[in-house]
Amino acid sequence: MTSVHDRIDPEVAEGLEGYFKLVGPGGLGAISDLGERRARLGAVMAMAGAAAGPSDDIETSDHLVPGPADAPEVPIRVYRPEGADGPLPGILDIHGGGMTTGGIETEDFPATALAESSGCVVASVEYRLAPEHPDPAPVEDCYAALVAIADQAADFGIDPDRLVIYGASAGGGLAAGTALMARDRGGPRLALQMLLYPMLDDRLQTPSSQEFVDIGVFDRGLNAEGWAGLLGDRAGGDDVSSYAAPAREEDLTDLPPAYIDVGELDGLRDEAVLYGLSMMRAGVPVELHVYPGGIHASEGMAPMSALAARVNGYRQQALARALA
């Protein structure tokens, strides 16, 4: 029988080996100390940004916007294409990191690239991290940032009628939870929710969540650790809000159109696909891609690969259609 590792796209497999050389054998999940893991992620992302070089086409600015009741302010970093006239579409970018790592600095390179490729104003949000700040802190911070960029759209040069919420991995789960909040609280209307290999289900009962345990990129162990950090003893139990774990939501009507992508060999594959199917059944327009040979964050592991070109191309097309 073909092993899981033999099924990985060859270019992605080569990129994965390069990743292990930077991070260490077994990836971030093999680093037990959370502080060290956060530092290592920061170093890797800084190297990626340095390799890409500075962008002369994007202006950046840091802001503090009104936060939820227990956090009066939420930091955001805004990226705007230089010289662009008039209000532009706006994207709220929510970083990944398993709910426990990442931030504005680690997201700087991806957010810059997103602003360049989309021609949109991108606002990256520094939500509070678990386990120091468990649920509902992260999703409440993200919702506060969404409300702020909508309310202050003129100040940021954003068209409030063309707003997208965008997130990968944990950020994809938070994007889905924020979209649910916006619907339920009468918040900003979204043109699109872009959920990239989203972390949606704390119950860890799908076949894919149990199958992929040793690839080295957000395997079952890191997934379980992230949910435990976010939810504590509630993880997997009955007392979990769908804003924290959107796969638990039973009513998916009246949500904005969705774009979802995930790798075939990603532990988050099944929950991403099932969430997309559930939205479709509720009448929500959904574009869903599952990439053969893809793992978690394939495009980041092998940015020059043919698979990354397909992934990024479809994402750019979806954004352009939603914001036309």
Catalytic residue annotation: 169, 266, 296
Supply φ then ψ for residue 266, to 5 degrees. Answer: -100, 135
Q: Are strands 121-125 and 192-196 parallel, antiparallel or unpaired?
A: unpaired
Residue 242 to residue 176: CA distance in whole angstroms: 9
pLDDT of residue 305: 97
Residues 170-219 pLDDT 10s: 999 999 999 999 999 999 999 999 999 999 999 999 999 999 999 999 99
- Half-sphere CA count of 149, side-chain side, radius 13 A: 37
The answer to whether 311 and 266 are in contact (CB under 8 A) is: no
Q: Are strands 73-81 and 121-125 parallel, antiparallel or unpaired?
A: antiparallel
Q: Which two tokens stand for residue 146?
A: 């969404």
Contacts of 287 (CB under 8 A, 6+ apart): 257, 258, 259, 260, 314, 318
Please report, for residues 161, 213, 262, 292, the alpha-carbon distance to residue 15 in angstroms, rounded to integers and kept in the order given. Answer: 39, 19, 17, 16
pLDDT of residue 222: 96
Stated as kind and residue range, the H or E segment containing 317 is helix 306-323
Parts of the chain with a pLDDT under 70 = 1
pLDDT of residue 2: 80
pLDDT of residue 183: 98
Number of domains in the chain: 1
Supply φ then ψ for residue 60, to 5 degrees. Answer: -120, 150
pLDDT of residue 54: 77
The answer to whether 272 and 291 are in contact (CB under 8 A) is: no
146-151, long-range: CB within 8 Å, 24+ apart, which pairs?
Answer: 146/92, 146/178, 146/182, 146/187, 146/188, 147/66, 147/187, 147/188, 148/65, 148/66, 148/74, 148/76, 149/65, 149/76, 149/90, 149/92, 149/123, 150/187, 150/188
pLDDT of residue 149: 98
Residue whose C-alpha is closest to residue 97's, from 16, 49, 37, 46: 37
Residue 92 to residue 107: CA distance in whole angstroms: 12
Q: Which three-class secondary structure state does DSSP give residue 61?
A: strand
Task: Find the domain containing 318 and state its range.
Answer: 4-323
The answer to whether 95 and 107 are in contact (CB under 8 A) is: yes
Tokens 């008039």 -> residue: 86
Q: What is the CATH number for 107?
A: 3.40.50.1820
Q: Can you say whether the dihedral through the CA atoms of 302, 307, 313, 318 is positive or negative?
A: negative
Residue whose C-alpha is closest to residue 173's, from 225, 227, 211: 227
